[in-house]
Amino acid sequence: MPKVLLGMSGGVDSSVSAILLKNQGYEVIGCTMKLWDAEESTCCGEQSILDAKRICDKLEIPHYTINCKEEFKCKVVDNFIEEYAQAKTPNPCVECNQYLKFGAFYRKAKELECEYIATGHYAKTEYSEKYGQNVLKKSEEEKKDQTYFLYTIPQNLIEHILFPLQNYASKSDTRNFAKEHGLAVAEKRDSQEICFIPNNSYKDFLEKYMTEKPKKGEIILKDGTVLGKHNGLINYTIGQRKGLGIAYAEPLYVLKLDSKENKVIVGTEKDLYETTLYAKNIHWIVPFEKIDKDNIFAKIRYRAKEAKTSIEQKENEILKVNFEEPQRAITPGQSVVFYDEDGIVLGGGKII
CB 336 within 8 A of CB 321: yes
Per-position DSSP letters for 159-170, written without gaps between them: GGEE-TTTT---
3-class secondary structure, 49: helix
CB 195 within 8 A of CB 43: yes
CB 239 within 8 A of CB 254: yes
As a whole number of angstroms, the distance between CA 278 and CA 6 comes to 36
In the 8-state DSSP scheme, what is residue 31? E
Q: Which residues are catalytic?
A: 96, 195
Burial of 131 from C-beta contacts in 10 A (0-12 / 13-18 / 19+): middle
> What are residue 120's phi and psi, to 5 degrees?
-90, 20
3-class secondary structure, 212: coil
As a whole number of angstroms, the distance between CA 309 and CA 340 comes to 10
Q: To 10 degrees, what angle do helices 12-23 and 46-59 make?
A: 20
